[in-house]
C-alpha cells in the first residue's frame, strides 16, 4: 500500500523526495492548493465542517489525505484499523467514511458491512480508497453499499472532488419535494426515506437517488447510460455492470419477490423501467 507514485500528485517528485514531500519542514505535510481551493478553504473557516472518518493503516497516506481534506474545509478523524470506527462514529456521526480495504484485523469490506448493518450509520456515505483495482473488488464494494471506489495511486484533488460529489448527492433536494406513493412503496424525497408496506427500508445515498430517479420517470425506459448520467454524473468508476448491481440491491429491499420484480423491470439489452403494479 506504499507504492504511490508522487507523479500522481501532480508534483513531479522522484521517489527519493517523496517522504520529504509528505512531511515538509518540521515534519508537516505540504501540498500546494490552487487559488480556487485556497478560497474555498478560507471561505468555510467560520462554517461547520463536515467530519470525514479516514480509515487507513499507512501513516504517510493517512497524513496526506488528512492534510488535503482539512485544507479543503473538512474535519478529519483518522484510524489505523477498524476496531474503534463504529463506536466512535456512533458518538461523532461523521458525514462520510473513507475506507482502505486492506486493513489489519477487520478489512474495509467487512467494516462497510458493519456500517450498513448499524441503523444510525446505515445511510452514511462510504467511499473505498484502495490498491485493490480488480473489477471483482469494485463490484464487491458496490454490493456492500459503497458510494464510490477510488484506486491507489490517486490524486488528492480528485479525491476531494469525489467526496464533494457524494456529499452533494446527500444534500441534494429534488425540484418536487414530495412523497411518492406508488403501490406499497412510499418514497419521501425530502427526508430520503423509503417504506414498503409501512416498513422502513434502509438505502444508501446512491440507491435512494437511483430509486427516486426511476420512480419520478416511471413508465419510461431508461438506458444504463441515462441512469449513469443522472445519478452518478462525473463518478468514473460506475459502469453499466455497476448499475445492475444497484438495481439488484434495490430489488432485494423493495420487492416482495426480487426474482419476479413488480416495480423495477428489466428491458433486455436496453435498460430498466419503473412500473406501478396494476393491482395496487
101-130 tens-digit pLDDT: 999 999 999 999 999 999 889 889 999 999
CATH H-level superfamily of 6-171 = Response regulator (3.40.50.2300)
pLDDT tens-digit series, residues 123-180: 899 999 999 989 889 889 988 889 889 999 999 999 999 999 888 876 544 444 578 9
pLDDT tens-digit series, residues 53-77: 999 999 999 999 999 999 999 999 9
Query: What φ, ψ does residue 128 adopt, rounded to 5°?
Result: -90, 135
In CATH terms, are 6-171 and 179-274 the same topology?
Answer: no
pTM: 0.64
- What's the burial of 2, exposed, middle or buried (CB within 10 Å: 0-12/13-18/19+)? exposed
Identify which of 100, 43, 52 has the alpha carbon closest to the alpha carbon of residue 76: 52
Cell of 201: 427500508
Show the CA angle centred on residue 249, arms to residues 246 and 252, nearest 5°. 150
pLDDT tens-digit series, residues 192-239: 889 999 999 988 888 998 999 999 999 999 999 899 888 877 666 667
Is the link from the previous residue into 18 a cis peptide, with omega within 30 of 0? no
Query: What is the end-to-end Cα distance of the chain in Å, rounded?
Result: 53
The answer on pLDDT for 37 being more than 60 is: no
CATH architecture of 179-274: Orthogonal Bundle (1.10)
- Domain boundaries of the chain, sorted by first residue: 6-171, 179-274
| pLDDT (0 to 100) of residue 24 | 39
Angle between helical axes of 240-254 and 135-143 (0-180°, round to 10):
20
- Supply the Cα-derived Rg of the chain in whole angstroms: 20
Angle between helical axes of 205-216 and 156-171 (0-180°, round to 10):
50
Which residues contact residue 248 at a Cβ distance below 8 angstroms, ignoring those fewer than 6 apart?
A: 258
| pLDDT (0 to 100) of residue 60 | 95
- Look at the alpha carbons of 180, 195, 254, 208 in this order and tell me if their dihedral is positive or negative: positive
Lowest-pLDDT range, 31-35, 243-247, 272-276? Answer: 31-35
Amino acid at each position: 500500500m506504499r507504492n504511490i507514485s508522487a507523479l500522481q500528485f501532480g508534483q513531479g517528485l522522484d521517489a527519493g523526495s517523496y517522504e520529504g514531500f509528505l512531511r515538509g519542514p518540521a515534519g508537516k505535510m505540504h501540498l500546494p492548493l490552487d487559488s480556487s481551493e485556497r478560497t474555498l478553504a478560507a471561505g468555510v473557516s467560520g462554517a461547520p465542517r463536515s467530519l470525514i472518518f479516514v480509515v487507513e493503516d499507512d501513516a504517510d497516506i493517512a497524513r496526506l489525505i488528512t492534510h488535503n481534506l482539512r485544507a479543503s474545509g473538512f474535519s478529519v478523524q483518522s484510524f489505523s484499523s477498524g476496531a474503534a470506527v463504529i463506536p466512535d462514529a456512533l458518538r461523532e456521526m461523521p458525514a462520510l467514511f473513507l475506507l482502505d480495504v486492506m486493513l489489519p484485523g477487520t478489512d474495509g469490506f467487512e467494516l462497510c458491512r458493519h456500517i450498513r448493518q448499524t441503523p444510525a450509520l446505515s445511510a452514511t456515505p462510504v467511499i473505498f480508497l484502495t490498491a485493490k483495482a480488480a473489477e471483482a473488488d469494485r463490484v464487491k464494494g458496490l454490493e456492500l453499499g459503497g458510494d464510490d471506489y477510488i484506486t491507489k495511486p490517486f490524486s488528492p484533488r480528485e479525491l476531494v472532488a469525489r467526496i464533494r460529489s457524494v456529499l452533494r448527492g446527500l444534500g441534494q433536494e429534488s425540484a418536487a419535494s414530495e412523497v411518492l406513493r406508488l403501490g406499497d412503496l412510499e418514497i419521501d424525497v425530502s427526508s430520503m426515506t423509503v417504506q414498503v408496506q409501512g416498513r422502513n427500508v434502509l438505502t444508501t445515498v446512491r440507491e435512494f437517488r437511483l430509486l427516486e430517479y426511476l420512480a419520478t420517470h416511471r413508465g419510461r425506459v431508461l438506458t444504463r447510460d441515462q441512469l449513469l448520467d443522472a445519478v452518478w454524473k462525473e463518478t468514473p468508476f460506475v459502469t453499466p455492470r455497476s448499475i445492475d448491481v444497484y438495481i439488484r440491491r434495490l430489488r432485494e429491499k423493495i420487492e416482495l419477490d426480487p426474482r419476479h420484480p413488480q416495480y423495477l423491470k428489466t428491458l433486455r439489452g436496453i435498460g430498466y423501467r419503473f412500473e406501478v403494479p396494476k393491482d395496487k
